[in-house]
Structure 1
């Protein structure tokens, strides 16, 4: 399963696979029919993105709204998970899309530094300035120039649970990390282990670390570590790993123990809590857990699949870790002017409300009417994301070079999997993380 855009964590795809996707992409995407008349009548905007299935279907509804508004025809081109390889091959082949939806800050920075991107128009930047908290502009800005408009977000600080398991154990939603572990042990004592941990997917382990670190160390150090201005051997990192290790080493807390967790991927972790034969009471991950529980196991979010915010650690503030997809305009696209007009549309609330109504979507846009969301659970998650304002922090591993923060079997993913198996040496793990980070960041 593709990680819902970190929102989903991308597994490393090969260049040849991405190129094969590129050759067949336009046929897969399909155009939206242009409206008669309109300011962009007769023009076509090509948009590339990682979305498949229902995400792609719902984004096309946004494109249809743009067509209705402007008269432009749109074509969605599936990029595959390796956006960098895909876009590079399309630029080299002289067939670049006009707009790309980029799921990782590191890739956006790479594109900007390669000179591939147009800065946002004055109108797009002005609208975004009135609809998005400044932190989202920061993540879309490279070397002082605003390139990336964040349109879709994920809330990566939600802990999902089976209400019947909590009722059986006699526990309530915990308000602190210490209470979370206490509730987990009570769940285990009542007959159901606490957490399904998707250790086979290393990205889930980075998310665990990031939430603990943001709450425990604070946003300033989080930013420094994300930029590798703070070494991974810093005492704050060792402390966060020690805290995470308390969870990993407790067989009451990790369903099946570490070895079972390392054979459990993300969809299976959700199944262990909400499937027909539950093996755990809770699963930590983003807001998209609710969608999996609903679509694959028939659970109703807010009723038999509930969540609470990732609780504060050691007296810090409750963390809000996010991810998101930023729209950018390529210089080499055939219709960059119309592409920028699409970004101006995406910057306002109207476009976001189209997808909000369709489901499977959160917007960081403060002007979006919460009533546009289709259910109370999603509405609550969206409120939490927006209320966090500038305290939101983008997923740290998605800010890192892919060699460190985004490659299966390597870097942070692999080292945290090793730590899940052997959590007794947080200092040694920190040293290994620093060595890998130094190589990836080039320092």
Structure 2
């Protein structure tokens, strides 16, 4: 079973499958409804006119399966409610916290959904190998011009495009307290050297340590440490080396990767710098990622490296703003020559049918119009679609993330452990990096253990 970071981090309530989609209303059409059987498509009017390109399939239904649960799935369904009402295409959505295990079972057993929202390129490749995933229609392909080309590559298998990206998240953030920084006279670091110098200044000032962290996450313990390594590899060696590392053309034992591990050790295994308000270096292995940032609010810790989705972990009422209790800044590149490195994740829409109504939905969900609709109804959801009006984002962390994810200057790469074979990225790497923190194993030993686990 392949478990992705995106799926395992959703702290959601499991709900029964929901069906969304209303009949085409007279208010949205000035002629009789069409069907996918060849009759003329209705001419849509009023608020529905913008969906004209997707009309002609009233009375049909498509099914969608994903790992997204309530309350996030509630806003997902709201995002296409008007489309469904105007076109008459019902979208029957089902979310499962066992999605990664169940999707292959369903596909193999013939219980195939029309769509799957897949949060890992590796799982997409696995599904493509079954021969059940169909190539997207021409309009969906054309819509991909709104995305950085690297995103299209993550929705492709062996160079063939299959799945349009939907959501995006930014991992490369540092959480801190603007109020505490201002009171102490500290400035947000603009470079890695500045970040390390600030860490040293805070440590020497005494009273509290610069960093707190936690990599405990149940059966997924170790994943935050993989992020730290991924961010340092990308920010020190660049995208090409990162890509070769993901495919194991460059091994963990390579000097570029062990050098990145040493940079992580100098940062997050420095006993003078961690683990503020919690314990020593070893305590990072037993502290849950959810609890890791709490010492910032009690002035025991200054910074936490975590993703944009960590925003949900701050207590209700926390003022998250540039001048508030909590905010975040982009983790700087280790190597100043690397332009704005961002490690992140996302989700991709794969289709298992090419029926006309399925293609209509597929085309719509690959547009900036749909992404904008999703942004309007969901705080904490970001798209890397460059056609989305950034003024639609009302949450400050969403604004920060969207700006970074859509910037042409950004060097974006998908979460490496979600791209690597499951035996490595969701297996031995988690285990070995946890032992690195908990037991103090050497870098060569840790790198060797991970390389040995790579499938032949």
TM-score (norm 2): 0.84
The one of 38, 46, 54 aligned to 2:63: 46
Residue of structure 1 equivalent to 2:191: 176
Find 1:289's aligned residue among 310, 316, 340.
310
**Aligned counterparts, 1:262-341, within 5 A:** 262-274=285-297, 277=298, 279-293=300-314, 296=316, 298-302=318-322, 303-317=324-338, 318-331=340-353, 336-341=355-360
Structure 1 partner of 2:367: 348
Larger radius of gyration: 2
Q: Does the 8 Å CA contact 1:238/1:430 hold for their aligned counterparts?
A: yes
Residues 177 and 312, structure 1, Cα contact 8 Å, conserved in 2:
yes
Does residue 223 of the first structure (1) align with residue 256 of the second (2)?
A: no
| Offset, 1:365 | 0.5
CA shift, 1:190, in A, is 4.8
**Structure-1 residue corresponding to 2:252:** 232
Q: How does 1:125-136 map to 2 (within 5 A)?
A: 125-128=141-144, 130-136=145-151
Residues 208-219 of structure 1: pairs in structure 2 closer than 5 A:
208-219=228-239
Matched, 1:85 2:80: no
Kept after mapping to 1: 8 A contact 2:121/2:419: yes
The alpha-carbon deviation at position 39 of structure 1 amounts to 2.4
Matched, 1:35 2:35: no
Q: Aligned pair 1:121/2:137, yes or no? A: yes
Distance change >3 Å, CA 350–CA 231, structure 1 → 2? same
What SS does the aligned partner of 1:266 have?
A: coil
Q: Which residue of 2 aligns with 1:394?
A: 414
Name segments (4+ residues, structure 1) moved above 6 Å. Answer: none
* RMSD (Å) for aligned C-alpha atoms: 2.4
Aligned pairs for 1:114-263 within 5 A? 114-128=130-144, 130-188=145-203, 189-201=205-217, 202-255=222-275, 256-263=279-286
Residue 444 of structure 2 is matched in structure 1 by: 427
Counterpart-to-counterpart distance in 1, 2:409 and 2:360: 26
User: How do residues 7-46 of structure 1 correspond to structure 2 at under 5 angstroms?
Assistant: 7-9=6-8, 27-36=16-25, 37=33, 38-46=55-63
Q: Quick check: 2:148–2:408 contact (8 Å CA) kept in 1?
A: no
Give the unaligned 5+ runs of structure 2: 26-32, 34-54
SS in 1 for 2:365: helix
Q: Is the 8 A contact 1:232 1:434 kept in 2?
A: yes
The corresponding residue for 1:74 is 91
2:173/2:308 contact within 8 Å kept? yes
After superposition, the Cα gap between the structure-2 partners of 1:32 and 1:250, relative to the gap in structure 1 and judged at 3 Å, is same
> Using a 3 Å threshold, how does the CA distance of structure 1 residues 112 and 319 change in structure 2: closer, same or farther?
same
| 34 and 389 in structure 1: CA distance in 2 versus 1, 3 angstrom threshold | farther
The SS at the match of 2:71 is helix
Return the match for 1:111 from 127, 131, 141.
127
Task: Name the CA distance, whole Å, in 2 between partners of 1:422 and 1:315.
Answer: 33
Between 227-236 and 195-204, the greater mean CA deviation after superposition:
195-204
- Alignment deviations for residues 178-214 of structure 1 (CA, whole Å, 9 cap, x no partner): 3223322333435332222122131111110001001
Mean CA deviation greater in 368-377 or 297-306: 297-306
Q: Counterpart of 2:52?
A: none
Mark the CA change 1:127 to 1:69 in structure 2 (over 3 Å): closer, same or farther.
Answer: farther
- After TM superposition, give the deviation of residue 250 of structure 1 in Å: 1.5
Q: Following the alignment from structure 1 to structure 2, what is the Cα–Cα distance between the partners of residues 57 and 278?
A: 36
Structure 1: runs of 5+ lacking an equivalent: 12-20
Structure 1 CA distance for aligned equivalents of residues 99 and 396 of structure 2: 33
Aligned residues: 413
Write the distance in 2 (CA, Å) between the matches of 1:375 and 1:249: 33
